[in-house]
Amino acid sequence: MAIEITEFANVSISVSPSGVAGGNFGILGFLTVDTDLVKSGKAITPAERSRSYTGLPSVGGDWETASAVYKAASAFYAQTPTPTDFTVLMAYETAQVASLIGGGTGTAAELIADESNWVDDSLELVIDGVTVTVANLVISAGAATYAGIAGEIQTQLLTASAPVGTTVTHNGFQFVISGVTAGASGSITFAVDSDASLALGLTAASAKLSQGLAAETAVDGLAANLSAGKEFIGLVTHKKFRDYTGGAFASGNSAEDIGVWAEGAKKIFCNTTNDLTTLTASATNTVSALKGRTLRFTLSTFSRDVNSYPSASVFGRAASVNFSAIGSTITLNLKQMPTIKAEDLTPSEFANMTSYNCSAVVQIGKSVNAYTSSRMASGSWLDTTHGLLWLENRCEVDMFNLLYVNNTKVPFTQSGINTTVAVLERSLQAAVRNGLAAPGYLPDGTYLPEGFIVNSVALADVPSSDKGNRVYAGLSFKMVGAGALQEVEVSGEFSE
């Protein structure tokens, strides 16, 4: 046989991993409660904790049109351009029983047809501390539907001494076995492996456990979603958490509690207030309390309509920003909020409202209804807060990708430091391109022609301990925000 060419020339090519994508800054998280109007079999269990949607039809598949979730989603998806990502976050205000949520299965007919092939047809699991064993599970005696099979399983579990009240249902996707003890003491296990339990998706290989859960506050629910890694940037809540209807501060259910939580979690809390004292001077109310806490991540919107969700519309408009595009950043001032009724305010009511750093959809002149002015509780602006969250992520992701996609290494030399400077500069240039930043003056009067300046500590000045730990902490930058014109005042003089 012929001699291979690799005897003389051998080439080996390594492939770098694809870079990590940046975050999504258009996801609205809507916090609701377990008493909201969800359709039968579509409830979000503590094991799932949240559910994401990409359009109003999919929301309507799970939630009744009279639900808070559907109303908020309607306001969100009514925006133009149409946003995409809406995530329902759960807080359980009533104690929850433990549930075993099965994995995927065949159709009901396929399960019944396969029953004769089961060698081990037992079903064994522990429900609220009681070991329940069905020696010979039969699923073919009733209706050839998921509901029929669920009913047969439930009957046989109860016959095998499962706690009275144990239920078995099918939610359209999987079988769910639920115990009866509500609260933290409620418990359940995966089913022991058998042909029957595997076919029904009830084993550890495919099922999920949702253990009993004590009643939660709004902040408890938010913290649980954050700990579970649920992704969202904007936050709107069920109307029951507005103002002080959920309780006083430190109850875990007031808008003030939620605003404080959002500040630490770096989530943009779009609060709605229905408190009419917002229109009076020097009142003590939710928006004055939020302002008093100088919350940079909380935006309040006033509405007389207690059943409306204007804040979902507000974030829906912000969610449309494509930070990768040129000149794409926006101010929310004077933007349209479809489906939201405009407030007819007197000049003095408007002045009082804005004194609390509160915004609203208002009637302007005879024909314009628009949102004004998008100040956060701290006095900063929504577009700045939103943009800086994006910029932090852009810098982090770009720097991570420098280290991640490199098949060798970035050397801890002056050349390597210069490489990190170049990467940071590219990240900051993106902020200038989209309009978040612009050439301008720093507070000390220094003019930045590029809109930013990057400083780096030279290799010779890096502590040896940092180099030994392979950590470079010498990068910093200063940037000038582009800001936005929201009011214009003109003075003139006229002479005949």
Q: What is the pLDDT of residues 22-68, one digit of tens each?
A: 999 999 999 999 999 999 889 999 989 999 999 999 999 999 999 99
Mean pLDDT of all residues in 14-27: 92
Strand order in the sheet with 167-170: 167-170, 175-178, 99-101, 208-210
pLDDT in tens, 96-155: 999 999 998 899 999 999 999 999 999 999 999 999 999 999 998 888 899 999 999 999
Q: Is 297 helix (H, G, I), strand (E, B) or coil?
A: coil
CA-atom Rg of the chain in angstroms: 29
DSSP annotation string for 464-475: HHHHHTT----E
pLDDT digits (tens, 9 = 90+) for 66-93: 999 999 999 999 999 999 999 999 999 9
Q: Which helix (H) or strand (E) holds 423?
A: helix 414-433
Distance (Å, whole) CA 77 – CA 30: 13
Q: What is the mean pLDDT of residues 218-241?
A: 97
Task: Give me the percent of the chain exceeding a pLDDT of 70.
Answer: 99
Element (H, E) at 311: helix 310-318
Confidence at residue 2, expressed as pLDDT on a 0 to 100 scale:
83
- In the numeric block, the tokens 């919107």 are attached to 301
pLDDT, mean over the chain = 95
pLDDT at 16: 85
Do the beta carbons of residue 76 and residue 86 sit within 8 Å? Answer: yes
Q: Is the pLDDT of residue 1 over 80?
A: no
pLDDT tens sequence across 421-465: 999 999 999 999 999 999 999 999 999 999 999 999 999 999 999
Dist CA 371 CA 340 (whole Å): 10
Residue whose tokens read 């008093």: 292
Q: Read off the pLDDT band of 244 (50, 70, 90).
A: confident
Structure tokens at 21: 């994508």
359 Cβ contact partners less than 8 Å away, ≥ 6 residues apart: 299, 300, 301, 302, 314, 332, 353, 371, 372, 373, 374, 375
- In whole angstroms, give the CA distance from residue 459 to residue 96: 57
- In sequence order, the β-bridge partners of residue 53 are 86
Residue type, 172: G
pLDDT in tens, 461-489: 999 999 999 999 999 999 999 999 999 99
pLDDT in tens, 176-194: 999 999 999 999 999 999 9
Closest CA to 80 of 304, 290, 338: 338
Beta pairing, strands 130-134 & 123-127? antiparallel
Query: Mean of the pLDDT values across residues 291-295?
Result: 97
* 86-91/368-372 β-pairing: unpaired
Cβ atoms of 92 and 46 within 8 Å: the answer is yes
User: What is the residue type of 3?
Assistant: I
